[in-house]
A and B are shown apart, each in its own frame.
Chain A
Amino acid sequence: MATTVSTPSLSRDAAPSKRRSGVGRAIVLYVILTLAGIFFAFPLFWTISSSLQTWQELRSYEPHLLPSVPQWQNYAQVFNSVPFARWLVNSFTIVLITIPGTILTATMTAYAFARFNFFGKNVWFVLMLSTMMIPAIVTFIPQYLLFFNLKLVDTYVPLTVGAWLGGSAFMIFLLRQFIMSIPRDLDEAATIDGAGPMRILWQVLVPLMKPALVTVAILQFLADWNDFFGPFIYINTMLKYTAAVGLRTFQFMGLESADPRDHLLMAGAAIMTIPVLALFAVAQRYFVSGVVLSGLKL
């Protein structure tokens, strides 16, 4: 539809009264942004607040926005009633295996696509992008059968091997875009100095790719930390659960006391979310510029 940019030429007399509308506009913007902010923030606030209340407080008919006395022991109780610490360690273990894998292999693949003119490159590139279209469930079933026959069910191999084999198409694409934005002159200068492709990648390009690599690391962290179906189907032993599967199981597990456990579930949800928020707080600047600088325009 919009094939041309038509800048509307308005009549001249619309020009004055610009100052006033500037302030008015800012106020309108703040109102909109604040309303949206409440929508986004309230559930987060409520997670924390209800995780610090007693279940009697939560299950009363008049709402308590804040706990009358913060029940910090709710958090201790989560760790005492289920092996939550163990589940968190398991999630961290998986992430520590996958992040280096994606960083290494997705970068290599992106480098091939960005800098070499090899035979069949465009075909491979289209094939790689089209893997994004295929629903995960299509490959999930045969992959499960594969790992089942290899006796690798109930290990972390099925959950981590993909990251060491290129990671995801989206990450490769992101990194390729980023490499393409780095001037080739740098590669050429390094070649003249006698550097081979390996050294160019690790010593010239990778140091410049920090925002993109941090972005990929965050995306990988999020993908594994939040993944539910992978560990749900592959892991059978409760002590090997990840935090995501553990938290869900916690809803239905038999505990010593038959009291409602909403407050404990909220504490569990908060515990699981804190590492992600902390990571993001540290890496935020890189993340945004990683996406922006990659020039994600298709």
Chain B
Amino acid sequence: MKTGGAGVRRRISPQQKRQNLYGYLFMTPWLLGFFGLFVGPGLYSLYLSFTKYDVLSTPEFIGLKNYVEMFTNDDLFWPSLGRTAYYAILSVPLSVIGSMFLAIFLNNKLRGITIYRTLFFMPSLVPLVASVILFKWLLNTDFGIVNQGLRSIGMQNPPGWFGDSDWAIPTLVLLRLWGALGGTQMIIFLAGLQGIPTELYDAAKVDGANSWQTTRHVTIPLLTPTIFFNTVLGIIGAMQTFAAAFIATEGGPGFATWFFALHIWKQAFDYFNMGYASALAWFFAILIVVLTLIQMRLSRRMVFYYGE
């Protein structure tokens, strides 16, 4: 809480000097990292985005050519952006809504609830490489136990999962849901739920609200800040996703999981088009920042803060 102190700014008091000294002293490691690993490299990549650079020779300045190239002459640019959007639109709402309801269910005082909580959380701890290998095997078209099960209940042609270009992205979403629904996102929802004052539930009970009505009119409105937080982080994360796609299918089959971030990666580290990859990366960063700012704008109308 800030109490006054606004007018005393004129001359720097010894106290203020002390605050400055210690503030910056304790921040020094982070400041070094911020400039050395973030701002510096970021500016360097901005410079590279106006060059042609293959690591071996020196960067050659070519103006806006990379940016023109990506919009007009890159066959994978728009499709990979589209696939990224498709993945985000499919995965973010499912994972945010899903983990919210899981958290609401887990917030009940039932016997053995902590066992469920641990069980739901465990998949989020499995290293991505391990879970991709596991899912590839689980969903193997011929010998995977899922398809064997589906066949045994009479499904003639079970999905091809990672091997089928129509199924590949939904399969990645499934993998993501398995790993994320019960994870940190759900814990954050649980934290949000525990911040809801109990008197509101008591009031709802006095009014004779059933549990769905209470959830709908008390819990969810009061969770909107948490929903917002998880959605924003979820979209930022989903847009950048490509590790699972890279490990599972390397962008295939037939470019079906060639996400935008993977496109940048391939340009940089497979084809060594560092200049072009930097231009793509900068476009991507701006896109994500703009999307995030739009969400923050929208949130003013959608998010409800209790007691403010």
Chain A residues with CB under 8 Å of chain B are: 1-12, 14-15, 21, 25-26, 29-30, 32-33, 36-37, 39-41, 43-44, 46-47, 50, 58-63, 65, 104-106, 108-109, 111-113, 116-119, 121, 124, 127-128, 130-146, 148, 161-162, 164-166, 172, 197, 201, 222, 225-226, 228-229, 233, 243-245, 247-248, 251, 262, 265-266, 268-270, 272-273, 276-277, 280, 284, 287-288, 291-292, 294-298
Binds A, one of B72-80, B155-163, B204-212: B204-212
Q: A133-B236, A229-B243, A233-B269 are in contact. Are A44 and B207 (CB under 8 A)?
A: no
Chain A residue numbers with a CB within 8 Å of B165 are none
- Encode contact with A along B15-30: 1 for CB under 8 Å, 0 otherwise: 0100110111111111
B19 touching A118, Cβ below 8 Å: yes
Between-chain CB contacts (< 8 Å), 12 pairs: A5-B304, A11-B208, A12-B208, A43-B178, A112-B23, A134-B288, A135-B285, A141-B281, A165-B33, A269-B130, A269-B131, A291-B187
A135 touching B137, Cβ below 8 Å: no
Give the contacting residue for B240; candidates A46, A137, A225, A276; CB below 8 A.
A137
A276 touching B126, Cβ below 8 Å: yes
Interface range on chain B (Cβ under 8 Å from partner): 35 or more
Binds A, one of B39-47, B63-71, B89-97: B39-47
Bound form: Cα–Cα A44–B178 in Å: 11
A277 touching B125, Cβ below 8 Å: yes
- Encode contact with A along B127-156: 1 for CB under 8 Å, 0 otherwise: 111110111011010010100110010000
- Encode contact with A along B171-202: 1 for CB under 8 Å, 0 otherwise: 00000001001101001101110110000100
Bound form: Cα–Cα A116–B24 in Å: 9
Chain A residue numbers with a CB within 8 Å of B127 are 225-226, 243-244, 247, 272-273, 276
* Complex: chain A residue closest to B32, CB-CB: A165
Bound form: Cα–Cα A143–B264 in Å: 15
A274 to chain B, nearest CB (A): 10
Give the contacting residue for B134; candidates A32, A59, A145, A266; CB below 8 A.
A266
Q: Does B85 contact A (CB under 8 A)?
A: no
